Amino acid sequence: MGPALPEVHERRELERIAVDVAREAARLVVEERPEHLRVARTKSTATDIVTEMDQRAQDLLRDRLGRARPQDGFLGEEEGGATGGSGITWVVDPIDGTVNYLYGIAAYAVSVAAVVGDPAVPGSWAPVAGAVVNPTNGEVFHAHVAGGAWLEMPDAAPRRLELHGAPPLAQALAGTGFGYDAVRREWQARVLLHVVPQLRDIRRIGSAALDLCAVAAGTLDCYFERGLNPWDMAAAWVVVAEAGGLVTGLTGGPPDSSMVLAAPRGLHPELASLVRSAAEEAGDEPPLGQAAE
Ligand code: LIP
């Protein structure tokens, strides 16, 4: 049996907190963006960058969540985590789509999720509430388990997101992405060679959280990507699930770093079989951290 699901009133409260702190961090990354934004450091590769605003936004999220719920754990993309005793861990990506943020491309998001289970162990955790805020247009996606998925836009009434039906695969507009390691990008390109002829077209937006929320909102028909971390997908996963979509790994289990597949229920099996056969065609991914062939 999986980790216990908190009661509905607590799930609602977790969703409200996620929305409030994500909105505040969204304001910070827009209003306090330095005129000459620089790369503060790099992580897995030279293109896997961290700006000072990624760290500042994470520090703000950690401070606010720690005040609101001191017993909870915290896992963020950037430095600074904490274990908790409440059974809830906050999994945050202060700026999902950091490269877009650096280049001034209006497609990045603050992602905040409350999860049960251990987010450090693939397949052993799941989100119970979450919020994804796009600071550039004010879109706020949010959900809690069994509470439905919602989209709030400035000056508009909140809209419930509900997926009905799906196009056939050949007419599906799919989102995907590429990793920071050249070897991975080479493998992902090989998968795409096989996938693209079978779909309407591909969109590379540059933020997994926004890609997944686009599936929930119907502005993308499906999404797949290899190499995501829990913070890239946690909040948007519960938004897609509450909109009636499915978010899984390559073989139908929980999503993890080897693959995330998201689509409405009517399209998911076709997408899964297409990406599975493309991955087989592409062969095993060589060890990362080496020069691409
Ligand atoms: C990004 C993801 C995106 C992926 C990028 C990167 P980050 O997250 O949202 O889908 O293609 O390689 O992982 O690093 O901006 O938080």
**111-137 pLDDT, tens per residue?**
999 999 999 999 999 999 999 999 999
Over 90: is that where the pLDDT of 4 sits? no
- Which ligand 1 atom is the nearest neighbour of the CA of 77? 16
Residue 269: predicted pLDDT:
98
Q: What is the DSSP letter of 146?
A: T
Over 70: is that where the pLDDT of 142 sits? yes
Residues 6+ apart with CB under 8 A from 202: 173, 174, 175, 176, 192, 195, 196
Q: How far is 247 from 106, CA to CA, in rounded Å?
A: 25
Over 70: is that where the pLDDT of 11 sits? yes
Over 90: is that where the pLDDT of 289 sits? no
Q: What is the pTM of this model?
A: 0.97
Mean pLDDT, range 164-171, rounded to an integer: 96
Contacts within 8 Å (CB) and 24+ apart, 51-55 = 51/95, 51/98, 51/101, 51/102, 53/28, 53/29, 53/94, 53/95, 53/101, 54/78, 54/94, 54/95, 54/98, 55/79, 55/94
Mean pLDDT, range 16-22, rounded to an integer: 98
Over 60: is that where the pLDDT of 293 sits? no
- Which ligand 1 atom is the nearest neighbour of the CA of 108? 15
Ligand 1 mean position, distance from CA 292 (Å) = 20
The mean of the pLDDT values for the chain is: 96
- Which ligand 1 atom is the nearest neighbour of the CA of 100? 15
Q: What would the pLDDT profile of 90-112 be if each residue is shown by its tens digit?
A: 999 999 999 999 999 999 999 99
Mean pLDDT, range 125-152, rounded to an integer: 98
Q: Which residue has the tokens 């409350």?
A: 114
| CB-count burial class (<10 Å; 0-12, 13-18, 19+) for 291 | exposed
Q: Which residues line ligand 1 (CB under 6 A)?
A: 77, 93, 96-98, 177-180, 207-208, 225, 232
Ligand 1 atom 10: residue of nearest CA: 208
Ligand 1 mean position, distance from CA 179 (Å) = 7
Ligand 1 mean position, distance from CA 48 (Å) = 9
Ligand 1 mean position, distance from CA 10 (Å) = 30
Mean pLDDT, range 143-165, rounded to an integer: 96
End-to-end Cα spacing for the chain: 44
Ligand 1 atom 12: residue of nearest CA: 179
Return the best residue to mutate from 192, 228, 231, 259 for the ligand 1 pocket (most ligand atoms within 8 A of CB): 228
The one-letter amino acid at 64: R
Is the Cβ–Cβ distance between 91 and 113 less than 8 Å?
Answer: yes
Q: How far is 270 from 278, CA to CA, in rounded Å?
A: 12
Q: Using DSSP, state whether 140 is helix, strand or coil.
A: strand
**With bands split at pLDDT 50, 70 and 90, how would you rate the model's confidence at 291?**
low
